[in-house]
Amino acid sequence: MKIKVLIVDDSALIRSVMSEIIGSQSDMEVVGVAPDPLVARDLIKQTNPDVLTLDVEMPKMDGLDFLEKLMRLRPMPVVMVSSLTERGSEITLRALELGAVDFVAKPKLSIQSGMLEYTELIADKIRAAAKARVKPRQIASSEVGRGGEGVALPLIRNPLTSSEKLIIIGASTGGTEAIKDFLMQMPSDCPGILITQHMPEGFTRSFAKRLDGICKISVKEAESGERILPGHAFIAPGHSHLLLARSGANYVTQLDQGPPVNRHRPSVDVLFNSAAVYAGKNAVGVILTGMGKDGALGMLEMKKAGAHNFAQDEASCVVFGMPREAIAVGATHEVGGINELPGMVLGYLAAHSSRALRV
């Protein structure tokens, strides 16, 4: 059966382009188009779509208000369509918190040469959304900023403070919320963290800023040549691969604008491979929810180099793609739900801290 897609966008031109893109795929069909959420509401009842594409900024009803009501009353996979602006990125991140599965930038209609690649991107995201576990998201009052109560931390008496140990994280579809859930449980003196999340340029800065305001650790978009210290997390910018490197005895960040790997830049495999080379057994790898296989082979290299690796389990993933591939190639040591993984990682680090300090 074909994937039934309902398109909601206030622009007639975008509705036409999206209809053409989706209609060109043999495994999906457009069952309706709506210029605003009010029309969409009726079409959802009539067509019972498998996936909804939703513009984040529309007349008559704000896209976020519509999404919040939809995820509360009739949860379904939603792919947000966003403009590549600071406001667009902020709205999109909020949409992901509310339960949207993924997002895609609005097509650049003036660049015909890039439409084939864009078509493949949209099609892949819709296919992943159709298989995703829809998890409505409500922001708890306990999610406060650094220094507040926050999420209860695991009972670890002496968290590791050595910068020798590093946590290396990769994620894709559904990863913004998974990364947030993970980082919210990190104590202020946890090991330095490097993160690659598949996101376009512009969105990663807003994502890092958002996390920095609610986590006990410092979170920022990575720049090249920054020293990696405890209590700090660095997110790969949307325009570059993030790599681990060394400067003397110190771990530092390195950015590279080389070609995409596994169709992604930034790529999780690039980050994981660099961690295998420069951190070895001092690295702890974590692969979270995501579409595709990016990160699986890089995590296997980390394991061969002595790293201890964790994967998110299928039940808590939005899309069990990347973790499944990593598990399948034998790259992981432990598997757990997103609520349990932070404690599992911190427990491992606490149990192996003395050995790590001798390296």
Strand order across the 218-221 sheet? 218-221, 232-235, 192-197, 166-171, 283-287, 308-312, 334-336
Amino acid at 183: L
Residue 39 within a domain: yes
Please give the positions annotated as active site.
172, 198, 294
Helices (H), the chain: 12-23, 37-47, 63-73, 86-98, 115-131, 175-183, 203-214, 268-278, 296-304, 322-328, 341-351, 353-357
CB of 237 within 8 A of CB of 204? yes
Do 119 and 236 lie in a common domain?
A: no
Residue with tokens 């947030």: 180
Domain end (from 112, 131, 150): 131
Question: Side chain identity at 162, as an amino acid letter?
Answer: S
Please tell me whether residues 125 and 171 are part of one structural domain: no
For residue 266, is the peptide bond before it cis, meaning its omega torsion is within 30 degrees of 0?
yes
Asked if 225 and 276 sit in the same domain, the reply is yes
Residue-wise burial string across 7-31, b where 16 or more C-beta atoms lie within 10 A, e elsewhere:
bbbbeeebbebbbebbeebeebbbb
Q: Is residue 140 part of a domain?
A: no
pLDDT digits (tens, 9 = 90+) for 81-111: 887 667 778 888 999 999 999 998 887 665 5
CA distance 205 to 156: 31
Q: Say yes or no: 45 and 171 in one domain.
A: no
Give the per-residue pLDDT at 116.
76
Q: Do 208 and 316 belong together in one domain? A: yes
Domain count, the chain: 2
Residue 145 vs residue 24, higher pLDDT:
24
Percent of the chain with pLDDT over 90: 72
Give me the pLDDT at residue 167, please: 98
What CATH number does residue 206 fall under? 3.40.50.180
For residue 159, pLDDT beyond 70: no
Task: Tell me the whole-structure pTM to 2 decimals.
Answer: 0.84
Same domain for 314 and 195: yes
Residues 214 and 266 in one domain: yes
Residue 63 maps to a domain:
yes
Q: What is the C-alpha separation between 74 and 71, in angstroms, rounded?
A: 6
Range of the domain at 30: 3-131
Residues 87 and 226 in one domain: no
Residues 241 and 259: their CA atoms lie apart, in Å, by 9
42 by Cβ neighbours in 10 Å (0-12 / 13-18 / 19+) ranks as: exposed
Looking at the DSSP assignment, which residues form a beta bridge with residue 172? none
Query: What average pLDDT does this structure show over 176-182?
Result: 97
> Are 79 and 186 part of one and the same domain?
no
Render 236-261 in DSSP notation, one character per residue: PPTTSEEEEEEETTEEEEEEE----B
Collapse the DSSP code of 3 into the 3-class scheme (helix H, G, I; strand E, B; otherwise coil) and give the result: strand
Question: 131, 154, 186: which is the final residue of a domain?
Answer: 131
Which of 110, 131, 152 lies at the terminal end of a domain, its last residue? Answer: 131
Dist. CA 338–CA 315, nearest whole Å: 9
pLDDT digits (tens, 9 = 90+) for 289-330: 999 999 999 999 999 999 999 999 999 999 999 999 999 999
Q: Residue 76: is its pLDDT beyond 60?
A: yes
